[in-house]
Amino acid sequence: MSSLRSIAGGALMAIPASVALAEIDILSVTFTCENGVPLPVTYFNVSDGPGAAATLVDNKLVPMRQVASGSGIRYESPEGEGTYILRSKGWNASISYQAAGDATSEQVIYQDCSSR
């Protein structure tokens, strides 16, 4: 339960201050990925703008902002040394990592994740 509190606190920091007064719907989901690896994700959906999400990757809190997606939902961590990317559609999700400045370096970390 404490990890979910950490996820919630970190993701709230990822939401811009301009939406601080907006209504926020919080949804926590645990996906089960290949080899039975759990992937806890907390989604923060705001009523008047893009949402945010947070997850734990290798015991590291990763806050993310919702970005445009052609299909499904896509969240990206703020730029830094690299970017974590969460893609989800329906009951399925995946997490990948892309090194800063190298669009060809994207590597899948968790795949075949399902919340069913």
- Straight-line distance from the first to the last Cα atom of the chain, in angstroms, rounded to the nearest whole number: 20
pLDDT digits (tens, 9 = 90+) for 13-62: 555 555 456 688 999 999 999 989 999 999 999 888 889 999 999 889 99
- Stated pTM of the model: 0.77
| Pair 40, 7: CB distance under 8 Å | yes
- Classify residue 66 as exposed, middle or buried by CB count within 10 Å of its CB (0-12, 13-18, 19+): buried
pLDDT digits (tens, 9 = 90+) for 58-97: 889 999 999 988 888 999 998 778 899 999 998 999 999 9
Q: What is the 3-state secondary structure (H, E, C) of 62-91?
A: EEEEEECCCCCEEEECCCCCEEEEEEEECC
| Pair 103, 53: CB distance under 8 Å | no
Task: Look up the domain containing 42 and give its range.
Answer: 2-114
Please report, for the domain that includes residue 82, its CATH number.
Answer: 2.40.128.200
What DSSP state is assigned to residue 102? -
The total number of structural domains that make up the chain = 1
The amino acid occupying position 45 is N
Closest CA to 76 of 104, 106, 39: 106
